[in-house]
Structure 1
């Protein structure tokens, strides 16, 4: 077990009973190694985690949902996810003197040691690895779009594969930043970029005006096609609210004492982040759909060709943003991998161990992104399959299990409504997303 460390006191005033070896491991792991973040770290980490590639597909999701259902789904998602995020922030220190620094640790407290792991870890991994794969595709596509816009007609056409590899090369370097606080600069730049390109997307759409061929009916000609597209769009909206999967890990970086619990600065940051989310999502979704109708692309910036330099800049902003987002979602995955290797398999915590594991992870996400770059379909499929549980209803189930609100009280009713809505979303949206992938795969050539 290692030698006993000298008597040390934790921020909550309790004696730190970890051995010197356990303490050294916790000080090395990405989530627990640094706890000096300020409330504004929470704000821009949450913006970076939330406002990702999903915002650019919202006008397309609106075209599949229609005006009434589309606006309703957007507003309900914003309210429900803010509520479930508040629950997670509150539950971070639900046991006095203990911090649930990771999503699965809270799951273990709610459902039991083994069951909690089996419920949370697979879903969280699907979300985080899924997001990183989709961001590889997005980064590559946005780089290619930037190149095609800036380059003149005489430029040679370059495969999307190579642009994804260029995007991935950045992560082979950035992935070696040790913890959340060390990527705060990247995350701040990413948060600023997300607000910038979202503003460019809706202001340029507004400037372009309503297109002559803009139609607001459903694009699909058959009833089944319309229904499947509707399902897929629900997943795309769910994908846009995926920040819950890293919220406890972000909160773990904020110092906490009984007098000043971490939930106060964390919640302040979340409120700021959600205001920014609203300023990004609603104008892009509504104005983008209003201007282009159901002819809008699954990435609004592809529909906007001019002014060329503005759209080129927006695509570059997207690249910078998804670089930050990739790192935010990769950090908890690195933490899981390194925890298993060091605590379960007894590897020594070293630079070489981190160097190998993180490079392998980046290489794998790059390989999958190059092989399956179905952007819209991936959003719908991943969105429903794993984002809906971890974002919309798993926090509610944990709240009911841990807090045990009185039956038919406001809290009890609100949680059950969220659970029912989330379950419905989880069941229907992967169907639509999978259909979109199948349709696109018919005409797709590998590594083209």
Structure 2
């Protein structure tokens, strides 16, 4: 939002005088997001989900297409970035990258909630339509991410900033040679995407709040109570965003911690629900894959911690 304001305003003393602080930008975003977050359930935000998908594809495509069209800077180097590093540093860098990739394919923590909203019968179980949706969505994510990574390394090589987990640094770097109109469109697409995707990830939290309320009070959640719960969550999200603005720099660590949601828990859930015969091929396969997922998650977390310990980490508490 700050980058969009700077682009539209055009810089100068008058723009700087009206510029909001980081905490104020966070507050503006939170207020707008909570105003939009008044839909009752996941079924009611299908439009938000569609807009989030379209805008994400739009700004990723704009970035990598414009990157190819601008060509390579003369000083960019494509010498392998691992040259001169020790064996341990290379291994931890690879695992840290896997954690960032795992976080890029986020959304797996919402699969069960989304599947629960789909119609299901013995002839047409919801798992089949959900499986198709997951395949299509992850294919779209790959079609966005991989061209961007290839175009970025082709164009900039070792000049790409190391703090790629920070979206503002990422956007500012990729768009520094773009026209004012292109930058404005890209930033606006990102803003719309953040507002709409916030609703998708927050809705399961809202549902849990309302479930706890109805279980405790033994009555339906009124509109005013629902609004109050969402205001509370918005305030909590704002507090975390302002208190820990460096969280994007922990993308590898967070990705490693979230990895079991994709590679471990589903395997153990299948064993628990389907109860295949012990030592059968299905039982051994899911147990092995689940344990492998936990081991991979542990290795990624260790690599992320090692990287933070060796490269250093700037924790700017309450200074967004």
1:334 aligns with 2:206: yes
- TM-superposed CA distance for 1:219, in Å, is 6.9
Gaps of 5+ in 2: none
Aligned counterparts of 2:130 and 2:305: Cα–Cα separation in 1: 34
Structure 1 residue runs of 5 or longer lacking an equivalent are 1-142
The answer to whether the Cα contact below 8 Å between 1:235 and 1:430 also exists between their aligned partners in 2 is no
Aligned position for 1:384: 256
1:337-416 equivalence runs, <5 A: 337-344=209-216, 346=218, 348-385=220-257, 387-403=258-274, 404=276, 407=279, 409=281, 412-413=284-285, 416=288
After TM superposition, give the deviation of residue 215 of structure 1 in Å.
3.5
Contact 1:256 1:262 in 2 (8 A): yes
Check the 8 A contact 2:245/2:319 in 1, yes or no.
no
CA distance in 1, matches of 2:135, 2:188: 28
Q: CA RMSD in A?
A: 2.8
Partner Cα separation in structure 1 for residue 279 and residue 70 of structure 2: 53
Any idea what the Cα deviations from partners look like across 1:295-321, whole Å, max 9, x if unmatched? 213144222211332133112211111
State the partner residue of 2:131.
267
**What is the aligned partner in structure 1 of residue 54 from structure 2?**
192
| CA deviation profile, 1:21-50 (whole Å, cap 9, x unmatched) | xxxxxxxxxxxxxxxxxxxxxxxxxxxxxx
Q: Distance in 1 between matches of 2:184 and 2:215?
A: 46
2:296 alignment partner in structure 1:
424
Match of 1:70 in 2: none
Deviation at 1:148, TM superposition (A): 2.3
The corresponding residue for 1:320 is 192
Extract structure 1 runs of 4+ deviating beyond 6 A.
none
CA deviation profile, 1:315-340 (whole Å, cap 9, x unmatched): 22111112222111111111112112
Moved more, 406-415 or 157-166: 406-415
Deviation of the 1:225 alpha carbon: 5.2
CA distance in 2, matches of 1:434, 1:315: 34
Count of residue pairs the alignment pairs up: 304
Report matched runs for 1:275-286 at 5 Å.
Answer: 275-286=139-150
Q: Mark the CA change 1:377 to 1:188 in structure 2 (over 3 Å): closer, same or farther.
A: same
Shift of 1:389: 0.9
Aligned mate of 1:152, from 2, 10, 18: 10
Contact kept, 8 Å, 1:180 with 1:328, in 2: the verdict is yes
Question: Does the aligned pair in 1 maintain the 2:95–2:300 contact within 8 Å?
Answer: yes
2:27 is aligned to 165
Report if the CA contact (8 A) 2:57-2:144 is conserved: yes
CA contact (8 A) 2:30 2:238 kept: yes
Q: Distance in 1 between matches of 2:112 and 2:135?
A: 15
Question: Contact 2:64–2:148 (CA<8 Å) still a contact in 1?
Answer: yes
Bigger shift: residues 390-399 or 425-434: 425-434
Aligned partner of residue 257 in structure 1, secondary structure: coil
TM-score by length of 1: 0.61
- Residue 11 of structure 1 corresponds to none
Contact 2:267–2:290 (Cα < 8 Å) also in 1: yes
